[in-house]
Amino acid sequence: MISNKIKDRIVGNINIPSDKSISHRSIIIPSISMGISEINNLLMSDDVMHTLNALKNLGVNIEKSNNKIIIYGKGLNSLKKPNKNIYLGNSGTSARLLTGLLASQTFETILEGDKSLSSRPMARIMDPLKLMGAEFENVSGTLPLKIIGKKLNKSKIEINIPSAQIKSGLILAALNTEGVSHIIEKHITRDHTENMLKSFGAEIDIKKINNQTSIYVKGKKELKSVNINVPSDLSSSAFFIVAALINKGSKISLNNININPTRDGLLKALKKMGAKISIKNKRTVSEEIVADLEVEYSNLVGCELDAEMAKFMIDEYPILSIAAAFAKGTSIFRGLKELKVKESDRLELIRLNLVNCGCDCKIKNDDLIIKPSEVYITKNNKIRTDFDHRIAMSFAVMGSKVGNLNIEDGESINTSFPNFIEKFNNAGGNIL
Ligand code: S3P
């Protein structure tokens, strides 16, 4: 796709799609509860459909009815051996969460993914699960992965990598394991799994001491079924927020956005850069905090963010880097090691593509340094995405300022944000 300069400005009330992380969990958790759950506003993107089809292949009855998904859960140990390998496309969240879920179901499953997912690390979830007695047939540490499901043992497990996917996989394994498992998180990560499980009646106890979190999960306690309303995704709204901030005269409003405090780093970072963002009508829906946002064009200034911030906004660095490219002064974002193992090596692709656009951008150790240019003259208009949806959308926003960016593999956007192009163009964007 080609992203051209916008004709005027970004305006309007933009309806942002539902949260991807919460949508995955809104399929998995009801599927192992006891009873019928209705899910409103599930994100119908490729990644989430992979989780939904996986649970169907595991014998769960899931029906679509208008804007709702009805899930007929039959309990913690009710999944059935699938009659084929489970294909998860590009979805890291599906891969890590389902590995945890299936490790304790007493049958064998093989998980597969696309080229990008098949190169992403799986040892980070297999290794801690092995401490619970889980068994796998896999030498590469990547997909395809054969899970030899069996009864697991309650354990005390420390997670040293900042990853909600690892934590959630372990919690799902612990739910179907006799006794109380103790999961220790060394870094704060998104807590949607814990929030949802509380509303499903799980015995999950969370104790925070300094920056370390102890999660105690009592296994073999059946979950009740609950209806869920999935809020809109802050990570998806980020592309519109930054597009409005950097294009003169822009003003947008975004309703019902999930601003879970483990995920709101982008808003804090942008405010530090001088962004005019108002957060209104804060409220709690289905154990998650949501609010309405108003954003207008702002004169941004560069900022320095320490490594701690990365845990609260890991998915937002590609689009934050675009904001930094149009700010006054240098930005330095520190401690971005985890960006290298996302849907692509995001750290390198941000650098490469910003440099192609004429920006002075460097990586030093795991830090990203962005020195904006007064005027952008693209060296090469090709934007390499390695089929990474967030790189594609971020550079579509860059294109709204510099024009004529040829974004490769634009269809990757369907991973998290179907209709992005249509919505962006309706709000004033110019993507062909
Ligand atoms: C996610 C956790 C994060 C994030 C991903 C979604 C989740 O990954 O980058 O987009 O839904 O749990 P990590 O757990 O690898 O940090």
What are the structural domains of the chain?
2-18+231-426 (3.65.10.10), 20-229 (3.65.10.10)
Q: Distance (Å, rounded) from C-alpha 182 to C-alpha 216?
A: 5
Residue 385 CB–ligand 1 contact under 6 Å: no
- Rounded to the nearest angstrom, the distance between the alpha carbon of 190 and the centre of ligand 1 is 8
Alpha carbon of 167 to those of 70, 186, 384: distances in Å? 26, 11, 31
Start-to-end CA span in the chain (Å) = 6
Query: Among 122, 186, 190, which is best to mutate for testing ligand 1, by the most ligand atoms less than 8 A from CB?
Result: 190
Residue 93 CB–ligand 1 contact under 6 Å: yes
- Rounded to the nearest angstrom, the distance between the alpha carbon of 194 and the centre of ligand 1 is 14
Q: Whose CA is nearest to atom 11 of ligand 1?
A: 21
Q: Distance (Å, rounded) from C-alpha 109 to C-alpha 114?
A: 17
Residue 125 CB–ligand 1 contact under 6 Å: no
Residue 45 CB–ligand 1 contact under 6 Å: no
By CB neighbour count within 10 A (0-12 exposed, 13-18 middle, 19+ buried), where does 83 fall? exposed
Residue 235 CB–ligand 1 contact under 6 Å: no
- Rounded to the nearest angstrom, the distance between the alpha carbon of 66 and the centre of ligand 1 is 29
pLDDT tens sequence for the chain (432 residues):
999 999 899 999 999 999 999 999 999 999 999 999 999 999 999 999 999 999 999 999 999 988 899 999 999 999 999 999 999 999 999 999 999 999 999 999 999 999 999 999 999 999 999 999 999 999 999 999 999 999 999 999 999 999 999 999 999 999 999 999 999 999 999 999 999 999 999 999 999 988 899 999 999 999 999 999 999 999 999 999 999 999 999 999 999 999 999 999 999 999 999 999 999 999 999 899 999 999 999 999 999 999 999 999 999 999 999 999 999 999 999 999 999 999 999 999 999 999 999 999 999 999 999 999 999 999 999 999 999 999 999 999 999 999 999 999 999 999 999 999 999 999 999 999
- CA angle (32 as vertex; 26, 35 as ends), nearest 5: 90
- Rounded to the nearest angstrom, the distance between the alpha carbon of 344 and the centre of ligand 1 is 13
Q: Whose CA is nearest to atom 13 of ligand 1?
A: 163
User: Residues 81, 154: contact at Cβ < 8 Å?
Assistant: no
- CA angle (298 as vertex; 297, 301 as ends), nearest 5: 150
- Active-site annotation, residues: 315
